[in-house]
Amino acid sequence: MCGIVGYIGNKNAVPILLRGLERLEYRGYDSAGVAVYSEKEKEIIVCKTKGRVENLETKLYDNPIKGRIGIGHTRWATHGIPSDTNAHPHFSKSGKVAVVHNGIIENYMEIREILGSKGYDFVSETDTETVAQLTEYFYNQTGDLQQAVFKTLEKVDGSYALGIICSDFPDMIVTTKKNCPLIIGLGQGENFIASDITAILQYTRNTYILEDNEVAFVSKDSIKIYDDKKEEIKKDVYVVDWSIEAAEKSGYDHFMLKEIYEQPKVVADSLNRRFKPDGTGIQLDSIKLGREELSNINKVYVVACGTAYYAGLVGKALIEKLARIPVISDVASEFRYKDPLIDENTLVIVISQSGETADTLEAMRLAKKKNSRILAVVNVVGSTIAREADDVIYTLAGPEIAVASTKAYSAQVVAMFLLSLHIALETGKMTVDQFKEIKKEMEKLPSHINKILTKAPNVKRFMEKYIGSKNVFYIGRGLDYTVCREGSLKLKEIAYLHSEPYAAGELKHGPIALIEESTLVIAVATQEHLFAKTMSNVKEVKARGAKVLIIAMEGNREIENYADDYMYIPRTHPILTPLLANIPQQLFAYYMALGLGNDVDKPRNLAKSVTVE
């Protein structure tokens, strides 16, 4: 939530900040702004506006500013409506200090009151403005910016990644973080700060990843970093291996479409590295989760949010089915507050694309406190969840820019396949021969996805037929139900259509009352042992006037008797269908959003990385 970027060097900061903000817009896009120290004016000049970075660009075109140090922000509003005034950067009273912030200052009202009584007026409704004012307040007392920042941090509670500049120190950006991501990019005669690497990837791959409560003073030629005891520390340089092309649209109309089409490669990459060369099992990087460690585990929890949670449900179903270990699943925002029954014999699997989702992170920290073993499935290398977990499986999806998760879901589902097979093999619940049979089918998944993608024009036709739908139900049983939950989320998220996923057998216990003439029902029916049961539910909704679109495996011609429309996925092992059956759903949501004129990559009210609770 919210993206921040900063530059200090010999170039004009403004275009660098703008490019960075464009790449960070997935984190929020309610408003955007930059603050740049102008050598000519000898002061910090702020330009900010409600709306997207393109609005900011227009504003800057009319009122150009120039300088070699600056900070920028793209906002996902938490305190105060999206407006020019509430947009970041925020200024201190005298205009000396400018601040960009990602996160929430929880005690901002208290600080406002104290500063208010000392003559500080606040112009915005934001929590962030308190940081700018407080820094100036302490700076006026001490005459020392470093001390002022440390003192400010002692007073603020909450989560933050901050970029601070002060017109008395036009050669320095101060930055710090707590529970929000922040990296420092290392250049030659220039340095950067950013919420994530995509913002600065075109300039550098060398980074310092800031830990909570570390404070950095960044100049163009030097960086001083202090730990929470205010002692100067040295950090290792972390070199990022993502390519700049991966963070660009490469000719696709939208990042979401590009990321959908990247899935064959993502799945191939995820599989290639993970099969043992002799084909007898799975190698999960350096994770020690063998027979001995697993013998101490009597319970597994899967914890995540949104799409990552739905990928986790696939893991739950498969660990239970293949390894016969009970698995409890919970969304992280619930898990955190329910005093979960976990201990040192619990394996807690947390799943997160960004590795920064606040609820997932805090859920993980809670589980750690209770001595559970933490296995994180994460996409962003070096993210907080990845760093704090006991073990990490990286999902190798590359940067996912569209807010709606597609390739990351597929990579997470593949990780769940691999993990459940690994546990089943290690606990002796699956033989190597059984594994080899599934492995053979897994190796075909990339080409199966390619085949489904060639059917995209059919999905587009379904969109044209069903574009007028006001309600869309997704029904399925078993693994198909997990797929429905993801499909329905995607449609809500980008097409803004009301949609409900239901366990097919549950429909008649209430929600069937909502089915009326022409209601669209998407039935996922790849689990053939449940096929007859799901078809009886299909008949029930058809009898009430619904239009039914069925997704099933090739060769199951029976669906043609029940469906108004249908889409086949290539025949595969039944445990692997959650990956394939979801691809038509992704395309359907994409085309619906497009057909309805929505902003596919940046849907309203959302942000990619949810770093607030």
Which three-class secondary structure state does DSSP give residue 562?
helix
Q: Tell me the one-letter amino acid at 159.
A: S
Q: Which of 608, 490, 598 is nearest to 23 (CA)?
A: 608
Name the residue nearer to ligand M6R (CB basis): 191 or 357. Answer: 357
Q: Which of 231, 408, 237, 397 is nearest to 307 (CA)?
A: 408
To 5 degrees, how large is the angle CA 318–CA 568–CA 494? Answer: 75
Name the residue nearer to ligand M6R (CB basis): 430 or 489. Answer: 489
Active-site choice (48, 50, 59, 608)? 608
* Least distance to ligand M6R, CB of residue 15, Å: 29
Contact (CB, 8 A) for 595 and 482: no
Asked about 490 being catalytic, the answer comes back as no
Name the residue nearer to ligand M6R (CB basis): 425 or 610. Answer: 610
* Least distance to ligand M6R, CB of residue 306, Å: 2
Contact (CB, 8 A) for 547 and 521: yes
* Least distance to ligand M6R, CB of residue 369, Å: 20
| Distance (Å, whole) CA 254 – CA 245 | 14
Name the residue nearer to ligand M6R (CB basis): 1 or 515. Answer: 1
Q: Tell me the one-letter amino acid at 596.
A: L
* Least distance to ligand M6R, CB of residue 389, Å: 13
| Distance (Å, whole) CA 56 – CA 49 | 6
To 5 degrees, how large is the angle CA 309–CA 483–CA 475? Answer: 125
What kind and span of H or E run contains 416? helix 407-426
* Least distance to ligand M6R, CB of residue 610, Å: 5
Name the residue nearer to ligand M6R (CB basis): 166 or 403. Answer: 403
Contact (CB, 8 A) for 242 and 185: no
Strand 232-233 relative to strand 238-239, pairing: unpaired
Q: Which of 43, 93, 102 is nearest to 72 (CA)?
A: 102
| Distance (Å, whole) CA 516 – CA 409 | 32
Name the residue nearer to ligand M6R (CB basis): 152 or 360. Answer: 360
* Least distance to ligand M6R, CB of residue 332, Å: 8
> Cβ-count burial of 409 within 10 angstroms (0-12 exposed, 13-18 middle, 19+ buried)?
buried
Q: Which residues pair with 72 in a beta bridge?
A: 5, 34
Name the residue nearer to ligand M6R (CB basis): 163 or 312. Answer: 312
Both structure tokens of 209: 């990843």
Which three-class secondary structure state does DSSP give residue 571?
coil
Name the residue nearer to ligand M6R (CB basis): 203 or 394. Answer: 394
Contact (CB, 8 A) for 5 and 36: no
* Least distance to ligand M6R, CB of residue 108, Å: 25
- Which chain residues interact with ligand M6R by CB under 6 A? 305-308, 352-354, 357, 360, 403-405, 489, 493, 609-610
Q: Which of 575, 110, 546 is nearest to 323 (CA)?
A: 575
Sign of CA dihedral 22, 27, 30, 32: negative
Both structure tokens of 250: 């490469």
Name the residue nearer to ligand M6R (CB basis): 136 or 262. Answer: 262
Name the residue nearer to ligand M6R (CB basis): 136 or 486. Answer: 486
* Least distance to ligand M6R, CB of residue 412, Å: 8
Contact (CB, 8 A) for 108 and 130: yes
Residues, the chain, total? 613
* Least distance to ligand M6R, CB of residue 309, Å: 7
Name the residue nearer to ligand M6R (CB basis): 25 or 493. Answer: 493
Which three-class secondary structure state does DSSP give residue 65?
coil
* Least distance to ligand M6R, CB of residue 232, Å: 33
* Least distance to ligand M6R, CB of residue 360, Å: 5
| Distance (Å, whole) CA 308 – CA 400 | 13
Sign of CA dihedral 486, 491, 492, 498: negative
| Distance (Å, whole) CA 517 – CA 546 | 6
- Secondary structure of 192-245 in the HEC alphabet? EEECCHHHCCCCCCEEEECCCCCEEEECCCCEEEECCCCCEECCCCEECCCCCH
Neighbours of 470 (CB within 10 A): 10
Asked about 166 being catalytic, the answer comes back as no
Active-site choice (2, 180, 305, 484)? 2
To 5 degrees, how large is the angle CA 590–CA 398–CA 242? Answer: 135
* Least distance to ligand M6R, CB of residue 594, Å: 16
Closest residue to ligand M6R using C-beta atoms = 306
Name the residue nearer to ligand M6R (CB basis): 156 or 305. Answer: 305
Q: Which residues form the catalytic set? A: 2, 608
